[in-house]
Amino acid sequence: MAAELPSAGPVGLAFPAVTKRGVAWTAANVDHRWIGTNAQALLEARIGRPVAFLNDADAAGVAEMALGAGRGRGGTVMVLTLGTGIGTAIFVDGRLLPNTELGHLEVRGEEAEHRASARARVDRNLGWNEWAGEVNEVLACYHALLWPDLFIIGGGVTENWPQFGHLLRSRAEIVRAQFGNDAGIIGAAMAAATDRR
């Protein structure tokens, strides 16, 4: 892609892992060889451009809080990306708590993402009503621990919002991510544009 879009400008990479100072520290839904890899340095060397490397749910949250469904919202906001797993990003008065990884929180003996991710819905052949029940149980657990004011639901499943959005329940407000599955791309670009190394 860098060869097809020549530029000296920075690149943002949103990645499904805990990321710290350019290094991937987990690999729940990707090859475990990523663990300990300085992906930022690797990519910078490969394409000859500055790279911002961040967690994919954090990137989605950055976009939604700055320009999307969370814009102007104070209090505690939790962005969930429902896809292969469950990505989480938590903001308190607009400030990100990075790398929360609450998709791995145990809910009734099973990881949240094994119950309520978009992939779990397909793998377990759940209808929208049944799957929304699983999501609601995960939302209730997150709410009991963190008391968010707002849940922003993003990820690949948002293209099907009309089938399930109205079935979601929580004491917190629930909205669809304005940028849907593109939020992570937008957030990664924003991170690259503001990276001040």
- The reported pLDDT for the residue numbered 2 is 65
What is the DSSP secondary structure assignment for residue 160, as one 8-state letter?
Answer: G
Map out the domains of the chain as residue ranges.
72-179
- Extended strands (E) in 112-155: 150-154
Q: Could you tell me whether strands 19-20 and 23-24 are parallel, antiparallel, or unpaired per DSSP bridges?
A: antiparallel
Which CATH superfamily groups domain 72-179?
Answer: ATPase, nucleotide binding domain (3.30.420.40)
Q: What does the radius of gyration of the chain's CA atoms come to, in whole angstroms? A: 17
Are the CB atoms for 70 and 79 separated by under 8 Å?
yes
Q: What percent of the chain has pLDDT over 70?
A: 96
- Render pLDDT for 130-146 as a digit per residue (tens, 0 to 9): 999 999 999 999 999 99
* Length of the chain (residues): 197
The three-class DSSP label of residue 80 is strand
Average pLDDT for the chain? 94
4, pLDDT greater than 80: no
Structure tokens at 55: 């967690």
> Residue 1 — pLDDT band, cuts 50, 70, 90?
low
Q: How far apart are the C-alpha atoms of 176 and 50, rounded to whole Å?
A: 32
Q: Could you tell me whether strands 76-82 and 86-92 are parallel, antiparallel, or unpaired per DSSP bridges?
A: antiparallel
Longest dimension (CA), the chain: 49
- The reported pLDDT for the residue numbered 54 is 96
- Render pLDDT for 88-120 as a digit per residue (tens, 0 to 9): 999 999 999 999 999 999 999 999 999 999 999
Are the CB atoms for 183 and 177 separated by under 8 Å?
yes
* Counts of helices then strands in the chain (DSSP H, E): 7, 11
Q: How far is CA 182 from CA 130, 145, 187, 188, in A?
A: 26, 28, 9, 10
The three-class DSSP label of residue 159 is helix
